[in-house]
């Protein structure tokens, strides 16, 4: 309010002069900057003390005071995952287009998810499209709707069961917006004014769950490298980490892109779930159930025997398999892989979603050994019963060489997902939590090494 008041004190000609100065300095550094200033000004409009109409220059100037640049990748660009692009038009025979997601880390060590795109040709040569150098945070969709039954079940999974919850939801339609929920919480709280202090934690928990389930939209005209999934909910205030994207095919042939990632609020990590069909609109959801814990959840790319399957490292040491009939709820796990070789004695985890091969599900793993050195290994799970291990590498598939050992976290190679391309295993991987590279190896060689 003080900042807005100070700007309102300026004479019109001074406001215009200041805006010209801002635009001269920043307009060439961003796309659609004026539209962004207008959005920011609208977001703080309620702090104006009168209804006096604003000039366009003053409106834009107010928006500029509530806008800041953030260098998403100034510290690191690492922990990649890769999926095939939904559009494969205009390519030569044997060439496929991919989308690479990356953990981008900037000032304050806050992480977000950025993107690149590229192609792999018939010879296995990889070409990355150069980024444009522009990026704008996505718009949070204000009118996105919640499914009441799913929302109630998530509240119950969190142990938030109370007559107050029933009273709040009673007045909501089967699909409602965040604004409608906030209004219902406020109205119900007023009706129970005598129990205000007692009910306040419940009301806050209801709204916190809703704000952790949201929808964002990127500009349709933006290049893929200009899109970013930036922390939004309270659970994400210190970053979004290690998204593991998977191209998921439903039994009816529908294709969706899912990702699991880790939300971090500065003290607690929380696995989250991401859904998109076009990499323009993203829906963020909470995952629920007793087995949603720790980092590194990775979804299988299709249902197996009618069920969703997911890998996890709930105990921080071993790889477990989970099975569920609902994407958002996970209640049981089975132990699949334990640290076995010296290079993985500290812990073993997955490096992204399993890849389907004729001989089984290929799971890239990461192992941690002496001096906290990370290496990438591989295991093979039965196609029909992924709890059964049918092959495993004794030696690492990939270890950091001397050029890859120095970085923010030294001695680490790590991936969040790979693809298969005409018999070639393509692994994007990070080098010591700093930068990203690619490795390729014939799938037949990997399978042969596991058999031997």
> How far is residue 117's CA from residue 82's CA, in Å, rounded to a whole number?
9
pLDDT of residue 75: 94
Question: What integer best gives the mean pLDDT of the chain?
Answer: 95
Query: Residue range 158-173: average pLDDT?
Result: 91
Tokens of 372: 């906290």
Structural domain boundaries of the chain? Answer: 2-65, 76-138+218-451, 140-211
DSSP state of 288: B
Question: Where does 56-139 have alpha helices with state H?
Answer: 56-65
DSSP state of 10: S
Q: What is the pLDDT of residues 328-357, one digit of tens each?
A: 999 999 999 999 999 999 999 999 999 999
Q: What is the pLDDT of residues 261-279, one digit of tens each?
A: 999 988 888 899 999 999 9
Q: What is the pLDDT of residues 173-185, one digit of tens each?
A: 999 999 999 999 9
Closest of 381, 395, 397 to residue 429, by C-alpha: 397
The percentage of residues in the chain with a pLDDT greater than 90, rounded to a whole number, is: 89
What count of other Cβ atoms lies within 10 Å of the Cβ of residue 260? 26
Closest of 231, 212, 269 to residue 111, by C-alpha: 231
pLDDT of residue 250: 95
pLDDT of residue 8: 95
> How far is residue 366's CA from residue 349's CA, in Å, rounded to a whole number?
5
3-state secondary structure of 399: coil
Report whether CATH 2.115.10.20 matches the domain 76-138+218-451. yes
Confidence of residue 115 (pLDDT cuts 50, 70, 90): very high
Closest of 417, 324, 325, 315 to residue 363, by C-alpha: 417
User: Dihedral, CA atoms, 78, 84, 86, 88, nearest 10 degrees?
Assistant: 120
3-state secondary structure of 316: coil
Strand partners, 348: 367
pLDDT of residue 193: 86
pLDDT of residue 325: 95
pLDDT of residue 113: 97
pLDDT of residue 195: 85
Is residue 143 scored above 90 in pLDDT?
no
Q: 379 phi and psi, to 5 degrees?
A: -140, 160
> How far is residue 34's CA from residue 280's CA, in Å, rounded to a whole number?
21
> How far is residue 135's CA from residue 72's CA, in Å, rounded to a whole number?
9
> How far is residue 235's CA from residue 228's CA, in Å, rounded to a whole number?
18
| CA distance readout (Å), 377 to 34, 286, 301, 331, 344 | 49, 30, 20, 28, 9
Contact, 136 vs 452, CB < 8 A?
no
């Amino acid at each position: 309010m003080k900042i807005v008041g100070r700007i309102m004190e300026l004479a019109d000609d001074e406001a215009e002069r200041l805006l010209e100065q801002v635009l001269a300095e920043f307009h060439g550094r961003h796309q659609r900057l004026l539209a962004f200033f207008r959005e920011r000004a609208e977001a703080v409009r309620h702090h104006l003390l009168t209804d006096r109409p604003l000039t366009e220059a003053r409106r834009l100037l107010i928006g500029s005071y509530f806008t800041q640049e953030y260098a998403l990748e100034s510290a690191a660009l690492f922990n990649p995952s890769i999926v095939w692009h939904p559009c494969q038009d205009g390519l030569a025979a044997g060439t496929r287009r991919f989308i690479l997601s990356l953990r981008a880390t900037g000032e304050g060590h806050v992480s977000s998810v950025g993107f690149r795109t590229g192609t792999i040709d018939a010879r296995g040569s990889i070409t990355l499209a150069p980024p444009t150098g522009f990026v704008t945070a996505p718009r949070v969709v204000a009118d996105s709707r919640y499914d009441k039954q799913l929302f109630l079940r998530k509240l119950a999974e969190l142990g938030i069961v109370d007559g107050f919850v029933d009273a709040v939801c009673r007045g909501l339609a089967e699909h409602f917006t965040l604004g409608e929920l906030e209004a219902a919480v406020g109205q119900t709280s007023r009706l129970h004014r005598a129990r205000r202090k007692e009910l306040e934690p419940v009301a806050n928990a209801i709204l916190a769950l809703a704000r952790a389930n949201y929808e964002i939209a990127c500009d349709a005209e933006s290049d893929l490298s200009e899109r970013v999934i930036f922390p939004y909910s309270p659970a994400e205030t210190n970053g979004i980490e290690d998204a593991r994207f998977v191209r998921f095919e439903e039994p009816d042939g529908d294709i969706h892109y899912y990702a699991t990632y880790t939300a971090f609020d500065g003290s607690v990590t929380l696995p989250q779930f991401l859904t998109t069909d076009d990499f323009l609109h993203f829906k963020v959801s909470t995952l629920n159930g007793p087995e949603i814990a720790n980092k590194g959840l990775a979804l299988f790319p299709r249902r197996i025997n009618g069920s969703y399957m997911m890998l996890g490292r709930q105990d921080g040491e071993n790889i477990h398999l989970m099975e569920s009939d609902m994407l958002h709820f996970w209640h049981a796990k089975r132990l699949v892989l334990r640290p076995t070789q010296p290079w993985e004695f500290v812990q073993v985890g997955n490096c992204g979603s399993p890849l389907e091969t004729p001989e089984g599900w290929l799971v890239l793993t990461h192992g941690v050994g002496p001096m906290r050195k990370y290496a990438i290994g591989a295991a093979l799970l039965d196609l029909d019963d992924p709890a059964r291990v049918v092959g495993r590498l004794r030696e690492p598939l990939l270890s950091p060489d001397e050029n890859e050992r120095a970085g923010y976290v030294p001695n680490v190679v790590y991936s969040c997902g790979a693809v298969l391309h005409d018999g070639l295993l393509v692994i994007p991987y990070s080098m010591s939590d700093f930068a990203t590279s690619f490795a390729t190896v014939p799938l037949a060689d990997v399978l042969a090494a596991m058999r031997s």
